[in-house]
Amino acid sequence: MDVNETVAKNVVYFRNLLGLSQNKLAEKLGVSPQAISKWERGICCPDISLLPALSRVFEVSIDELFKKR
């Protein structure tokens, strides 16, 4: 599994765990819902500058975003 796939699975996992829609997550991060969709499909990863905000929203460390499950 490559990094994109791992991050994709983790974004879906943590977003669902918190009961957030793609739109709500996008709103919290200041990105488009299409960006969230691309992350979740493994097309691309979030920009490195968004990792701190993403980890705060999910209430996990940045390391957890890259952890294989």
Mean pLDDT over all residues of the chain? Answer: 96
Residue 37 — very low, low, confident or very high, per pLDDT cuts 50/70/90? very high
Length of the chain: 69
What are the sequence ranges of the domains in the chain?
Answer: 3-57
CATH topology of domain 3-57: 434 Repressor (Amino-terminal Domain) (1.10.260)
Q: Residues 46, 33, 18, 4: what is their CA dihedral angle, to the nearest 10 degrees?
A: -30
Angstrom CA distances, 17 to 2, 60, 68, stand at 23, 12, 16
pLDDT at 1 over 80: no
28 pLDDT above the threshold of 90: yes
Going by pLDDT thresholds of 50, 70 and 90, the confidence category of residue 33 is very high
Instruction: State the pLDDT at residue 51.
Output: 97
